[in-house]
């Protein structure tokens, strides 16, 4: 009985403390934070990059030993490629130098094509054309050219669609030991993340004379693919190969978060804020942004007009709801107010047209 009484007393004390804490914090929880992203004291991007370059690397001997241990796996990786599997490298650190060393060491007898997925824009059609030209050259070298080896309608490769190019790569006939190795640095990069591109890459990997070696760094990269992509097309062999190497080349194309930047940084900041808001708030922002892009000379959109459009699309139910969204936009300096020539207050987004289009594409 004493133990039960002690247990009840402990539970009572815990409950009492919980409700006391809620009561004491209820007043402060209603207080609105006055902090904004723009309050962060950012440094110049060039200075930040120069400071980063001066950081001395550590544990160099251990890293060299680690990389040497991966080199002993090269024959295993080559065997996996010859058996029709794809290699997917993951782990902390840039894997660019390691993969290229593997290609220059173990793939000297084969043709290699490199895709830099860390770039923001990649022309996938040009990649497929380059691969098709490599295979055609190999076919001609082995003197096994026939009409069925050529693309459909015998049109030039650059006039073929992506579908036709993939069909050609899948149907081209050549020797069994003839294949092209496609190296994709950061297959989870910004230029390759959309589902359509990933499906095209999976179909490319499924072609008989194509093998793929890729690297990933994003924690959610496996969500790009379904079971069919992974087991039937890519046929990934996962290898944990942390290199602890800095992302010097890959990071060149990303503005540092702590750096003061221009349009790129403004786009990144606006995107981060908008993605933290509700879908309805994002939709209201899209209405304002699309109006600003389609009417660049008007200098903004009147609040009443914005309310009418949002009400028609069932984005807000009252003026109070719209005002709450606008207050959030103004607090984060996503939207500003300026007086129109006729005396009306107009809402406008302080971003250039190109930057505003990028924000819309990011949140879409």
The residue among 227 and 275 whose pLDDT is bigger is 227
Domain range summary for the chain, segments of one domain joined by +:
60-245, 262-363
Q: Region 199-213: what's the mean pLDDT?
A: 94
State which fold the 262-363 domain adopts: Arc Repressor Mutant, subunit A (1.10.10)
Q: pLDDT at position 37, please?
A: 58
> What is d(CA 234, CA 224) in angstroms, rounded to the nearest whole number?
12
User: What is the DSSP annotation of 103-138?
Assistant: HHHH-TTSEEEEEETTSS---HHHHHHHHHHHHHHH
CA distances from 232 to 1, 197, 235 (A): 64, 17, 6
Q: Which pLDDT band holds residue 333 (cuts at 50, 70, 90)?
A: confident
Whole-number Å distance between alpha carbons of 97 and 315: 50
Position 325 scores a pLDDT of: 87
Distance (Å, whole) CA 102 – CA 108: 10
Cα distance between residue 288 and residue 44, in whole Å = 31
- Taking phi over 0 as left and psi of -120 to 50 as alpha, with beta for the rest, 207 belongs to beta
Q: Is 14 helix (H, G, I), strand (E, B) or coil?
A: helix
Distance CA(20)–CA(171), nearest Å, equals: 73
The string of pLDDT tens digits covering residues 128-165 is 999 998 888 887 776 545 545 444 444 578 778 899 99
Q: Residue 264 has what pLDDT? A: 57
Give the pLDDT mean for 298-320. 87
Q: Is there a contact between 98 and 239 (Cβ–Cβ < 8 Å)?
A: no
Tracing tokens 């001066």 back to the chain, one arrives at: 54
Q: Tell whether the model's pLDDT for residue 350 goes beyond 90.
A: no
Q: Residues 334-349: what's their mean pLDDT?
A: 80
Mean pLDDT lowest among 49-53, 101-105, 186-190, 266-270:
266-270
Region 206-215 average pLDDT: 94
Q: What is the dotted CATH code of the domain comprising 60-245?
A: 3.40.50.12060
- Average of per-residue pLDDT values in the chain: 83
Q: What is the predicted pLDDT for the residue at 263?
A: 53
| pTM metric for this prediction | 0.62
Rounded mean pLDDT, 88-101: 96
What pLDDT score was predicted for residue 121?
Answer: 79
């Amino acid at each position: 009985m004493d133990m039960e009484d002690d247990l009840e007393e402990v539970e009572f004390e815990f409950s009492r403390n919980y409700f006391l804490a809620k009561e004491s914090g209820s007043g402060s929880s209603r207080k609105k934070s006055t902090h904004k992203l723009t309050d962060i004291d950012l440094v110049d991007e060039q200075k930040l990059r120069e400071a980063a370059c001066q950081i001395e690397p550590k544990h160099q001997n251990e890293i060299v030993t680690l990389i040497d241990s991966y080199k002993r796996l090269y024959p295993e990786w080559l065997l996996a490629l010859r058996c029709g599997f794809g290699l997917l490298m993951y782990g902390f650190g840039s894997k660019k130098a390691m993969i290229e060393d593997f290609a220059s060491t173990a793939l000297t007898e084969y043709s290699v094509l490199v895709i830099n997925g860390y770039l923001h824009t990649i022309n996938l059609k040009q990649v497929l054309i380059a691969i098709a030209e490599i295979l055609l050259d190999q076919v001609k070298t082995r003197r096994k050219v026939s009409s069925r080896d050529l693309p459909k309608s015998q049109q030039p490769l650059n006039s073929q669609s992506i579908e036709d190019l993939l069909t050609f790569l899948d149907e081209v006939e050549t020797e069994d030991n003839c294949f092209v190795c496609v190296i994709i640095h950061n297959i989870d990069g910004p230029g390759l993340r959309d589902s359509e591109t990933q499906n095209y890459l999976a179909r490319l990997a499924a072609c008989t004379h194509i093998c793929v070696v890729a690297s990933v760094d994003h924690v959610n990269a496996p969500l790009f693919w379904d079971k069919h992509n992974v087991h039937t097309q890519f046929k990934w062999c996962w290898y944990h190969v942390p290199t602890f190497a800095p992302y010097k080349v890959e990071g060149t194309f990303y503005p540092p978060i702590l750096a003061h930047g221009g349009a790129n940084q403004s786009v990144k900041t606006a995107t981060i804020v908008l993605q933290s808001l509700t879908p309805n708030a994002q939709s209201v922002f899209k209405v304002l942004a699309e109006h600003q892009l389609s009417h660049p000379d008007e200098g903004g959109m009147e609040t009443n007009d914005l309310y009418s459009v949002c009400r028609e699309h069932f984005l807000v139910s009252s003026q109070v709801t719209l005002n709450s969204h606008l207050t959030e936009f103004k607090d984060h300096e996503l939207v500003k107010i300026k007086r129109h020539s006729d005396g009306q207050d107009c809402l406008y987004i302080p971003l250039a047209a190109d930057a505003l289009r990028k924000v819309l594409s990011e949140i879409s």
